[in-house]
Structure 1
Amino acid sequence: MALEKPTIKQLEYFVRLAESTTFRSAAEQLKISQPTLTAQIYNLEKTLNLTLIERSRSGATLTPAGRDLLSNARQVLEEMNGLLDQAAMINHGPGGIFRMGVSPTVGPYLLPHILPGLHQTYASLKLFVRENTPKALELDLLEGRLDLVLIPRPFSNPRLTTEVLFDEPLKLITPEDHPLAKLERVSSHHLKDQNILTLEKQYSSYQQMELLCSELGATIARDYEGSSLDALRQMVIMQMGLTFLPSLYIYSEIHQPQGLIVRDIENLNLYRTHVLAWRQNSPNRSFYRQLAELIRSLVKTNLHEARLNF
């Protein structure tokens, strides 16, 4: 006699409840009644002969067994969704809805130049785009809330696969009346004792700037960390310090005259590397590699004036 097996719907309900922490919230998100959700979770626990959820007035908490099985449940759902996506691709070509995360320091300045080309190549492809900090995007990707992310390195989780897209130079930004703005050539030694503005610690560029300042004898303005690239630009205009901004942002947002001067630093190869990342066991990994190659091609064609490196 074959053993009874959990249904895909039961696993979907279990994962959603684990993420929502209350039966009411999970039921609303699933668009089912709370008694239906309760019954399906009970049936799942009965099938597995395990208690997965600890119920209390304050909500639903995973038991140790529930925590152990949650990643497996997510993987089963991902494989099932991958099977359906693969079948749709065989029938109609690449398409469907994919959830893609991007850093707010990348998305607004890159996506407008590549999304039309992606749509032209894959007419039925739809990308649900979510912006968040790199650490939050990494967690959402690992836990299955996102299918892939487009993000700057460092990004080296062993459970993820990354495909390098391009290197983006970082350029020095000074107020137009700053002494460095008057130099024809700016060298790394000119940055000694300069006040450098940077993004908040949750962004990967913070560690990059911290290391750079240590090497060059510059100082990070720790009391004035920016929450966005726009904030850094405005603080430079107000003469609160200097900063380094990525080429895509400069290409998109900085046009003379703005009270700012853009400078390269001689003998300083400063850049950030962008990757497309997905879970190693993703059933759509073959398509994601195709997507990465198309993004590289679109960036080369549409953003050659931004002087990116490939």
Structure 2
Amino acid sequence: MPLPTIRQLQYLQAVSETLNFSLAADQCFVTQSTLSSGIKELENMIGAQVVERTKRKVMLTDIGKEVLRKGNQIIELAQEIEYVAKERDTPLSGPVRLGVIPTIAPFLLPQLLPDLQTEYPQAKFSIQEDLSANLIQKLQTGRLDILLIALPYESAGTKTFVLCDDSFVLAEPISEKNIDTPLSVSDITRDDRPLLLLEDGHCLRDHALSACRLDVASDEFRASSLHTLVALVAQGSGVTLLPEIALNQNSSGNLTKFSGLHLRRFKDPQPIRHIGLCWRQSSSRDSDFTLLATYMKEWMKKHRMQ
């Protein structure tokens, strides 16, 4: 009896991610007809429908979801076969699929990636930016190799490596009342100005509230990006909590470029989140990722991100 091919399983994986045959085909670098034929051959091979498709929507059947779950494991093992031979000769070589959250990516990657590529020229880094929950899910199903996220974050079966601490800073509009003395965390709750935060799903929101021991009402304004928050603060709509990495003067994405913004730091102990790497405990590339983590930690110290 013929067995499903890895390519067919990759087609199914792409369809599950995009829920669109055209986008899935682009992701797999094949024509839509090739991808459709591959999915149909897979269905004929196992004798069951794996994808339900109409003119308006595409979704996996229950059997399709189970095939995908097993298929993800097969794809991951097949990829690790490729890594085994390369790792014997050259550390950190081959594809490295890195997931990064939006509150880190624009402030760190433009500086870090060129140096990483110089240090490890045999590595082929590909980047996916997404929310922590989505990245963890992709990591656990083998669609990503390693994550650059904010910690702590609950994720079963993973190994974490803290790279640096990232302090929170209060951003407020410039006014005659601005002072530069350090804040106490309790000062935030005594402030009658609206506290503007990212929307649910962004771990920065949870880390900021936890670090500052805040319990914010459910009806405060919520934004989808730090740039939106900063623009609103600058025009006087309220105050917000920013991670220090977003204020790094050497970063092309730093938020201090906004005019009309006054920043205040907190007294020690400062409220912080941790920036770190996360990968599967079962990964055969543990030594590679530990090497990468060690390099990145030293790089951040050198660039005063500590």
TM-score by length of 1: 0.81
Do structure 1's residue 98 and structure 2's residue 90 form an aligned pair?
no
Q: CA deviation at 1:32?
A: 4.8
- Kept in 2: contact 1:188–1:267 (CA 8 A): no
Distance of aligned partners of 1:240 and 1:23 in 2 relative to their CA distance in 1, 3 Å threshold: closer
- Kept in 2: contact 1:152–1:204 (CA 8 A): yes
Q: CA deviation at 1:135?
A: 2.5
Match of 1:70 among 55, 65, 68: 68
Deviations 1:70-106 (A, max 9, x none): 1221111111112112322334443223221212211
Distance of aligned partners of 1:52 and 1:287 in 2 relative to their CA distance in 1, 3 Å threshold: farther
Structure 1 counterpart SS, 2:14: helix
Q: CA deviation at 1:23?
A: 5.5
- Kept in 1: contact 2:160–2:278 (CA 8 A): yes
Aligned to 2:295: 294
Q: CA-atom RMSD, angstroms?
A: 3.2
Query: Which structure: larger Rg?
Result: 1
Query: 2: CA distance between counterparts of 1:28 and 1:256?
Result: 37
Match of 1:226 among 214, 223, 227: 223
Structure 2 counterpart SS, 1:198: strand
Deviates more, 1:143-152 or 1:203-212: 203-212
Aligned to 2:204: 205
Do structure 1's residue 191 and structure 2's residue 192 form an aligned pair?
no
Amino acid in the other structure paired with 2:271? L
Query: 2: CA distance between counterparts of 1:19 and 1:216?
Result: 36
Distance of aligned partners of 1:300 and 1:57 in 2 relative to their CA distance in 1, 3 Å threshold: same
Matches within 5 A, 1:1-310: 5-21=3-19, 26-27=24-25, 29-32=27-30, 37=35, 40-41=38-39, 44-45=42-43, 49-58=46-55, 61-177=59-175, 179=177, 181-182=178-179, 184-194=181-191, 195=193, 196-211=195-210, 215=213, 222-252=219-249, 253=254, 258-302=259-303, 304=304, 306=305, 308=306
Amino acid in the other structure paired with 1:244? L
Query: 2: CA distance between counterparts of 1:178 and 1:236?
Result: 15
Structure 2 counterpart SS, 1:151: strand
- Kept in 2: contact 1:79–1:283 (CA 8 A): no
Query: 2: CA distance between counterparts of 1:17 and 1:255?
Result: 41
Amino acid in the other structure paired with 2:136? E
TM-score by length of 2: 0.82
Query: 2: CA distance between counterparts of 1:148 and 1:140?
Result: 10
Q: CA deviation at 1:202?
A: 1.6
Distance of aligned partners of 1:23 and 1:88 in 2 relative to their CA distance in 1, 3 Å threshold: same
State the aligned residue count: 299
Query: 2: CA distance between counterparts of 1:229 and 1:40?
Result: 42
Q: CA deviation at 1:25?
A: 5.5
Unaligned residue ranges in structure 1 (runs of 5+): none
Q: CA deviation at 1:260?
A: 2.9
Amino acid in the other structure paired with 1:242? V
Q: CA deviation at 1:29?
A: 4.6
Query: 1: CA distance between counterparts of 2:262 and 2:54?
Result: 59
Distance of aligned partners of 1:183 and 1:30 in 2 relative to their CA distance in 1, 3 Å threshold: closer
**When you count helix as a share of all residues, which structure comes out higher?**
1
Structure 1 counterpart SS, 2:172: strand
- Kept in 2: contact 1:24–1:34 (CA 8 A): yes
Query: 2: CA distance between counterparts of 1:254 and 1:25?
Result: 34
- Kept in 1: contact 2:103–2:204 (CA 8 A): no
Distance of aligned partners of 1:102 and 1:18 in 2 relative to their CA distance in 1, 3 Å threshold: closer
Query: 2: CA distance between counterparts of 1:282 and 1:237?
Result: 45
